Amino acid sequence: MDNTTTGSRVWGTCKWLLAMVGVFGAYMLIQVMTIGLGSVVVGVAAALSTGDYESFVESPAFSNMVLGLSVVAQLVIIAVFLPMWRRMRPGSFVVRREAVVPSDVSFAKSLALLLVIGVSAQFFVGGILGIVELLFPEAMAEYSELMEDSSVGVFAVISALSIAVLAPINEEIACRGVMFEYAMRAMSPGWNAADGARYRAVPARAFWIANTLQALAFGVLHMNLIQGSYAFVLGVLEGWVFWRTGKLRYPIILHFALNISSYLVEPLAPMVNALPALLVLVTFGALLVGGIAMFERTWHVSDALSEVAVAEDDEGDGALVDDDAILGDVLPTDDAAARASADSTGPGKGGGPL
């Protein structure tokens, strides 16, 4: 049901793409203002009190301070984008998905598959980075330094919380939630506030373009070429999981599995390195492909959405949305681990966290 003109379609596409860029900019601004300016203020204060700015910046105290500021940034991002997503979701395209995706899929099975996909992806990416290191040793040296986490004691716990819990929640809400929805509206520019996405046809191509756009933004958010490159690919995968299931909790789980498994890379390195590199790459690559294939069969449904004829409901508003499910999509009541946001540096020498 699309009566929009060519001009309004072009304007609709541009408008929603600009909205997506605005969300990206707001995300970056929060990080820069919180971490960047916060670090400068604290560093200058330390220099004035001690007279040795350079030594303070190189000290563990400064690293711990930056970690604390990154957690603050993550919490701010959640506080900003979670309410935004809650307001957007009733008229979003993912609500349409909920009406067509399988309703009898076992959560336990989906959880197990996502854990397999996440862990195998972490080690597969680590194998790819081993090849990259042979070709571009200087770039990998910079990447390894960036990903190194020297936190100890209580700060190690805070770092793990930031990487494993806050980063998956905040990045999924901002990228797979808000930015993906704006990208979908750009690909279906007849979207309107009155009907939302309830009746619109969505070809599979539109989903994949929108999914690529949000994944590209996700990769750029990581602000370095190596991590951003594999973050882009994994962002496409997480966007696909979101679209297939219609629930944001599933890409959050996958993101959690990817990030928490980065802590397994270093302890398992002696065992993994004892095997031929090609064997390791093929093994984890097969596990990754097999896990994705099984998840696809479990949540087997077309990536396209057919047009829905306008039909009034009993209340006369055509509503197809259960507003009570909004927060449960992001933070299910039975999952105490769901708490919030952003990017952070990570511990291992494998793919690293996102």
What is the per-residue pLDDT for 331? 46
Lowest mean pLDDT among 77-91, 177-191, 195-209: 195-209
Please report the sign of the dihedral spanned by the C-alpha atoms of residue 222, residue 151, residue 75, residue 97.
positive
What is the per-residue pLDDT for 328? 43
Tell me the DSSP string of 127-183. HHHHHHHHH-HHHHHHHHHHH-----THHHHHHHHIIIIIHHHHHIIIIIIIIHHHH
Exposed, middle or buried by CB within 10 Å (0-12, 13-18, 19+), for 188?
buried
Q: Reply yes or no on whether the pLDDT at 314 is more than 80.
A: no
| Tokens matching residue 153 | 């004691």
Q: Which residues pair with 330 in a beta bridge?
A: none
pLDDT (tens digit per residue) in 101-143:
998 999 999 999 999 999 999 999 998 998 898 888 888 888 8
Between CA 272 and CA 153 the distance in angstroms is: 28
What is the per-residue pLDDT for 53? 61
Query: Is 290 or 3 the better-scoring residue by pLDDT?
Result: 290
Q: Reply yes or no on whether the pLDDT at 332 is more than 60.
A: no
Assess contact for 222 and 345: CB atoms under 8 A. Answer: no
CA nearest neighbour of 85 among 8, 163, 213, 176:
176
Exposed, middle or buried by CB within 10 Å (0-12, 13-18, 19+), for 214?
buried
pLDDT (tens digit per residue) in 339-350:
333 343 344 456
What is the per-residue pLDDT for 248? 96
Assess contact for 345 and 149: CB atoms under 8 A. Answer: yes
Q: Which residues pair with 305 in a beta bridge?
A: 202
Lowest mean pLDDT among 13-17, 153-157, 208-212: 153-157
Between CA 181 and CA 94 the distance in angstroms is: 8
CA nearest neighbour of 257 among 99, 121, 69:
121
What is the per-residue pLDDT for 107? 96
pLDDT (tens digit per residue) in 19-54:
999 999 999 999 999 988 887 777 777 666 766 666
The average pLDDT across 51-64 equals 70
The average pLDDT across 243-261 equals 96
Between CA 217 and CA 96 the distance in angstroms is: 24
Assess contact for 217 and 239: CB atoms under 8 A. Answer: no
Q: Reply yes or no on whether the pLDDT at 3 is more than 60.
A: no
Name the pTM for this structure.
0.84
pLDDT (tens digit per residue) in 218-242:
999 998 899 999 999 999 999 999 9
Q: Which amino acid is at 261?
A: S
DSSP classification of residue 151: -
State the Rg of the chain over Cα.
22
Between CA 248 and CA 132 the distance in angstroms is: 32
Between CA 157 and CA 114 the distance in angstroms is: 24
What is the per-residue pLDDT for 348? 45
Exposed, middle or buried by CB within 10 Å (0-12, 13-18, 19+), for 321?
middle
Assess contact for 181 and 90: CB atoms under 8 A. Answer: no
Q: Reply yes or no on whether the pLDDT at 270 is more than 80.
A: yes
Share of the chain above pLDDT 90, in %: 52
